[in-house]
Structure 1
Amino acid sequence: MVLLICLMPTALKGGETVNVLNYISAETDLQFKDYAALAGGVGKLLNVREVYSVKNQTTIHGNRDILYSFGVYDLASPVTVIKPAAPDRFQSLIVPVSDRASL
């Protein structure tokens, strides 16, 4: 299982023209918005119990042999992630933040 936590230091941007200079930031904002909507809002975790659908993709090229969990969290307050013990399973945590970085 992969847990993808998207952290937002500010609110989602809107109405900005996308160009070659801000494409990465705009794509990150779009994915944060889409994952927040799928989870039911900012601050909620979505556990996807089926493999990634090629017909309904928020992120292109998702792995089809992995179960994902997604959440978008505003860093105005602290966020703590506690992964359950699963000694016989691989777990990974990816924490993308706005503007091209991952923690």
Structure 2
Amino acid sequence: MKKLTILATITASLFATTTMAHDLGDHLPKKGQPTAVQLENGGTTKVSKDNFIAAESDKYFFEQQEKSGINHFTHDRQLLTMETQTVVRQNRDTLYSKSIWDTKGGVTFELPILDSYQALQVIDEQHRTVAVLYASEGQNKVTITPDMLSSGQHVWVIARTQVASNDPADIKEGNLKQDMIKGTASSAERYTPKGFDQFDREKVRLALEATCSNSTLPRRWAP
């Protein structure tokens, strides 16, 4: 299985075209309309193209913290479908695990050694990938400290665990592999939202999305 590139992940997550975004279904908020959670965690800081990455990452951070708390994985126990995916073209053969972690004092992530694909990506508040782990010898463990980040002390962590099929037995095996993902943190300070204006953030996102949609450059999407 191909390893996701950082470019593909960012492009698929943040700059989906208008046409393809419709495939995400009605379970997601409508374009340009912040959710109650976003408004609750928003503020008055203006958003422009210059700080959009920080504003959009902030949204992902506080939304995930609402779901999983701090230093705790939330595992998707079933494969995503066209109706349940949250960004364009998410994997259909991997189970997702997501979380927010405090790196103050150091946080260590470790994957088991497996014959199948499992990967863990650590992303900081500027949407920069700090580390990528794989479930193979010598590539499965890392300790992250604040000095490794481009800003802040928190990281957004996503893991992908491959399953052979949607058969219940294969899903159960994948769930067991998800539970083998380890994270050990020295601190549990919650992520503090940065107070970006959520209506501003949506306007900038839509403007960038339109620019990307009109581009003549070839697009690459996560497999």
Structure 1 length as normaliser, TM-score?
Answer: 0.72
Provide the residue aligned with 1:78 in structure 2.
106
Pairwise CA distance, 1:60: 4.5
Select the residue among 69, 86, 94 that pairs with 1:66: 94
Distance 2:118 2:104 in 1: 27
Secondary structure (helix, strand or coil) at the match of 1:32 reads: helix
Bigger radius of gyration among the two = 2
Distance 2:114 2:124 in 1: 26
Distance 1:37 1:79, change over 3 A: same
Select the residue among 63, 81, 86 that pairs with 1:34: 63
Letter in 2 for 1:27: E
Identity %: 29
Structure 1: which 5+ runs fail to align? 1-12
Instruction: State the aligned residue count.
Output: 89
Pairwise CA distance, 1:75: 1.5
Distance 1:68 1:20, change over 3 A: same
Letter in 1 for 2:108: T
Select the residue among 20, 23, 26 that pairs with 2:49: 20
Secondary structure (helix, strand or coil) at the match of 1:36 reads: helix
Moved over 2 A (4+): 52-62
Structure that is richer in helix per residue: 2
Letter in 2 for 1:22: N
Structure 2 length as normaliser, TM-score?
Answer: 0.36
Distance 1:77 1:53, change over 3 A: farther
Provide the residue aligned with 2:122 in structure 1.
95
User: Could you give the per-residue CA deviations for residues 11-54 of structure 1, whole angstroms, max 9, x where no partner exists?
Assistant: xx842222211111111111111122221x11111111112354
Pairwise CA distance, 1:90: 0.3
Task: Please tell me the root mean square deviation across aligned C-alpha atoms, in Å.
Answer: 2.0
Structure 2: which 5+ runs fail to align? 1-40, 131-223
